[in-house]
Amino acid sequence: SQTIHQWPATLVQPVGSPLSLECTVEGTSNPNLYWYRQAAGRGLQLLFYSVGIGQISSEVPQNLSASRPQDRQFILSSKKLLLSDSGFYLCAWGPGQGVRGTDTQYFGPGTRLTVL
Amino acid sequence: AQSVAQPEDQVKVAEGNPLTVKCTYSVSGNPYLFWYVQYPNRGLQFLLKYITGDNLVKGSYGFEAEFNKSQTSFHLKKPSALVSDSALYFCAVRDVGNTPLVFGKGTRLSVIA
């Protein structure tokens, strides 16, 4: 069966510090991978998605970036955090071979980021 | 562009009563519709999805959803609510354009004992 991991689970960082959040998927190959941000326990904002190694689509221009160095690894980064970057960051995966309408996305446990 | 709306920020029901969480959608092609549930400080859990066929879709934990094309709705239902159903519920949509899921803002369900 497939599993998705995120770490760290919680993170407290000062404004202006760098960020690296990691997401890995087990039990599948060539997954589609996604980063979402959830503010204040409500709606989800899609940040990035990837359909393959080195292929990143950015949905929102901001001070965050994403990379996919390996097939089942997706990293969210920032060089300098802002207060507004605080939130709950969710990674998700879906079956590969391109994005199809019927594909379900499965979510990881999330990372709670607080920027002070 | 595809979009989904959840018109109620919060729904409160008594335990044992039926519950409905509403969702309406807008897509250019055929819709693929999903429901997820989120418990505090957890990731989203997939409940069910509508692809094609029967308008009544059955999912996990006794939930079901009814697809209504004429009303562009996909409401989540359960015949008898449990206190443990209290959580945040998200509706999501994707059309044939092959894009990531687009989520509604979520509806907070409170089931009162």
Among the ranges given (A57-66, B15-24, B55-64), the one the predictor scored with the smallest mean pLDDT: A57-66
Q: Would the pLDDT of B95 be above 80?
A: no
Secondary structure of B22-37 in the HEC alphabet? CCEEECCCCCEEEEEE
Residue A92: its chain B contacts at CB < 8 A? 44
Query: Rounded CA gap, A39 and A41, in Å?
Result: 6
Q: What percent of chain A has a predicted confidence (pLDDT) above 70?
A: 94
- To probe the interface with A, which of B10, B103, B108, B110 has the most A CB atoms within 10 Å? B103
* Band of pLDDT at residue B97, cut at 50, 70 and 90: low
Check CB contact of A56 with chain B, cutoff 8 Å: no
Q: Give me the pLDDT at residue A98, please.
A: 58
* Closest chain B residue by Cα to residue A98: B98
Using a 10 angstrom Cβ sphere, with 0-12 exposed, 13-18 middle and 19 or more buried, the burial of residue A52 is: middle
Give the pLDDT mean for A11-18: 97
* Closest chain A residue by Cα to residue B4: A43
Q: Give me the pLDDT at residue B29, please.
A: 82
**Mean pLDDT (chain A, rounded):** 91
Residue-wise pLDDT for A60-96, tens only, equals 868 899 999 999 999 999 999 999 999 999 999 998 7
Indicate yes or no: CB of A107 within 8 angstroms of CB of B43: yes
Selection from B52, B36, B112 nearest residue A107 by Cα: B36
Indicate yes or no: CB of A43 within 8 angstroms of CB of B100: no
